[in-house]
A = this chain, B = another copy of it.
Amino acid sequence: MTDRSSALGLSDPKRNHFLARLVPSDYAALMAEAEIVSLKFRKKMLEQDAPVDAVYFPLTCMFSLLVTIDDQPQLELATIGKEGVIGAAEAMQKQGSMGYNLIQIPGSAVRIDAKAFRKLAATRPLMSALVFQHLLALLRQILYGAACNRLHSMEERCARWMLMTHDRAGEDTFPLTQEFLANMLGVRRATVNVATGMLKKAGFIRYVRGKITVTDRPGLESASCDCFQAMNRVYAPLTP
């Protein structure tokens, strides 16, 4: 797929839209205390309500934000890739994690200690305003997603999820099992199987043993609901 920001090196911090929008002095101050880390597939980054010890700015990886309910993480409510940031709001307020975070697509991210980030943001109004804007965008994304989860069909939601992940993966093939997708969507694997089977039969996707390939992006978009577009639009004003 074409991705304009891939003109930037894969480990250029400015790939991340939050970092790219910082003014030079704030950017320099933040990067002076940050490091680039590599995050492994399905790594649990944070339990729900656990203390947030670091803030992450994804470069090539993607986070999932899940909610733990009835004692297990059962439903994904947002995905965050290079357009966003993880843990910034909680770090600023010294709060526990809003949800259960895990790595959906492995890759790199900029990491900064939560306390260091809090100190930086406290004296830099532009930086804290940006955190605020990202929080608002996340909230909007969650609103749309929640409504979609409640009101749309399994096939539409499967397609939407794959499209969102496709965008963030930057490649047509990425890791995904039915079991996993079922957890994300809050349904059983058998239910996911039916939906993905339809998308496969329609020729929009291929998959074998935990690897899925998007073969017909426009087709997949036609199978998805409008929520996909709506959720993308949320981050448009935050694009550098």
Query: Taking the nearest CB of chain B, how far is it from the CB of A150, in angstroms?
Result: 5
Task: Answer yes or no: A32 CB below 8 A from chain B CBs.
Answer: no
Among B70, B77, B89, B147, point to the contact of A74 (Cβ < 8 A).
B147
Instruction: Enumerate chain B residues within 8 angstroms of A148, measured Cβ to Cβ.
Output: 69
Q: Let me know if B227 and A69 touch, CB within 8 A.
A: yes
CB interface residues, A 188-235, toward B, < 8 Å: 226-227
Using known A-B contacts A144-B69, A151-B186, determine if residue A138 contacts B136 with beta carbons closer than 8 Å: no
Using C-beta atoms within 8 Å of the partner chain, give the interface range for chain A.
20 to 34
Q: Let me know if B98 and A140 touch, CB within 8 A.
A: yes
- Complex-state Cα separation, A149 to B142, whole angstroms: 13
A-side binding surface: helix, strand, loop or mixed?
helix
CB interface residues, A 135-155, toward B, < 8 Å: 135-136, 138-140, 142-151
CB interface residues, A 57-102, toward B, < 8 Å: 67, 69-70, 74-75, 77, 89-90, 92-93, 95, 98-99
A residues lining the B interface (CB < 8 Å): 67, 69-70, 74-75, 77, 89-90, 92-93, 95, 98-99, 132-133, 135-136, 138-140, 142-151, 186, 226-227
Q: Can you list 21 contacts pairing A with B, beta carbon distance less than 8 Å? A: A67-B143, A67-B144, A67-B146, A69-B147, A69-B227, A74-B147, A89-B136, A93-B132, A98-B143, A99-B143, A132-B132, A135-B135, A138-B139, A139-B139, A139-B142, A142-B143, A146-B149, A146-B150, A149-B149, A149-B150, A151-B186
